[in-house]
Structure 1
Amino acid sequence: GKEPITLKKPTFINVANLNPGTRVNLHLKVTSVKVIRERKRYEGTLNRTAECVVGDDSASVNLIAKDEQLDLIKEGAHVTVRNAHANVVKEHMRLEVDRWAKVEVTTDNSAKPKTVNSKKNMSETEYELVPS
C-alpha cells in the first residue's frame, strides 16, 4: 500500500545543488535586480519583470521576479522561496517564482546566507536538453 502523505517541514537546499526541472525551497540573498520589462496596463497598473541574481554561500543563480514580488526581492534583501521552479530557458537554468511558488522575507536569522558565492553562477552552465 501507499504511505499516507504527511505534511513535513520543507527541505531547503543550497543553490549549488539546483537541478534543472525541479521545484525547490531556498533561503537566498539578493545581490542584484534589473528590470528587463515594464508595461503599463490600461487600468494604470504597471507590469514589471526583473532579472535578479540571488544566492547563498554555495553559489548564485538568476531569478525572474515579477510585479509585487519585487516589493520583497530587492538588492541586499534576504528572501525565502518555496516551491520555486528551476527552469531551463535557452540552455540556461533560472529560478522562476510562478503561481505555485511563494516568496517571503526570511524570518529565521540563522537561515540567512551571510555571503553569496558570485563566482559560481548556476545560470552560466549550459544544459543540453536531453530528450526523455
Structure 2
Amino acid sequence: MATPIPNPPPETLSEQSDPKPALRKPEFKKVDQLKPGTGGHTLTVKVLASNTVLAKGRSVSQHLRQTRIAECLVGDETGAIIFTARNEQVDLMQPGATIIIRNAKIDMFKGSMRLAVDKWGRVEVTEPANFTVKEDNNLSLIEYELVNVVEE
C-alpha cells in the first residue's frame, strides 16, 4: 500500500510559482507633454480631421495585404498633434469622435512629431469628452532638428 504524500508547507508553494508582475495603472498624458523620441503614452483625444494619405492593396493583387494610412489631427485642451492611423485604426478615426490611445509613441516625420500606435498599443472609441481642443498649439507644426552632441 502506498503512503500518502503530505502537502508541502505554504512557504515552498509561493517560492515555486513566479508571481506575475502587477499591472500598472495608465498615466494619462496631455498633448503638450509629448516630446520627440518618447513612447508609452496614454491619451484621451478628440479627432478634428482625418485625411487618407495611402490606400493600396487588393485592387492590384489579391496576394497583397490591404494597407491604409490616414493622417488625423487629434487634440485635447492643451494642444493638437497629427496621429498616423494604420489599417483598422483608420475606421475609428471619425471627426468628432473621442478616442483613447494607449501605448502610443512619437515618430519623427520630416522633422516634425507624429503620434503613432504600433502592434503593442490600442486605439479605442470612448464616451464623448467635454473639453475644447486647443487647435492653435499644434505640436506637428514645430520643426525639430537632430543635433549630435559630442561629449569630451
Note the residue ranges of structure 2 that are not aligned, 5 or more in a row.
1-19
Instruction: Confirm or deny that 1:48 pairs with 2:68.
Output: yes
Q: Percent same amino acid at aligned positions?
A: 40
On the 8 A contact 1:72/1:104 being kept in 2, the answer is yes
Deviation of 1:113 after TM superposition, in Å, equals: 5.1
TM-score by length of 2: 0.75
Tell me the CA shift for residue 127 of structure 1.
Answer: 1.3
Q: Amino acid of the residue matched to residue 55 of structure 2?
A: E
Query: Which range is displaced more, 11-20 or 65-74?
Result: 65-74
Counterpart position of 1:11: 27
Aligned to 1:123: 140
Q: 1:75 to 1:14 in 2, by over 3 A?
A: same
| SS class of match (1:130) | coil
AA partner of residue 128 (structure 1): E
Q: Are residues 22 and 113 of structure 1, via their aligned partners in 2, closer, same or farther at CA, if it must alter by over 3 Å?
A: farther
SS in 2 for 1:104: strand
Could you say which residue in structure 2 is the equivalent of 1:32? Answer: 49
Q: SS where residue 70 of structure 1 aligns?
A: helix
Match of 2:105 among 81, 85, 93: 85
Point out where structure 1 has 5 or more consecutive residues left out of the alignment.
Answer: none
Number of aligned residues: 126
Partner of residue 97, structure 1: 117
Q: Which runs of 4+ in 1 moved over 4 A?
A: none
Q: Root-mean-square deviation (CA), in Å? A: 2.0
Letter in 1 for 2:36: P
- Does the 8 A contact of 1:30 with 1:77 survive in 2? yes
Q: TM-score, normalised by structure 1?
A: 0.86
- Provide the rounded CA distance (Å) in 1 between the counterparts of 2:110 and 2:94: 26
Q: Counting strand residues as a fraction of each chain, which structure ranks higher?
A: 1
Instruction: Give the structure with higher Rg (CA).
Output: 2
Letter in 2 for 1:47: T
Between 35-44 and 49-58, report the one with greater CA deviation.
35-44
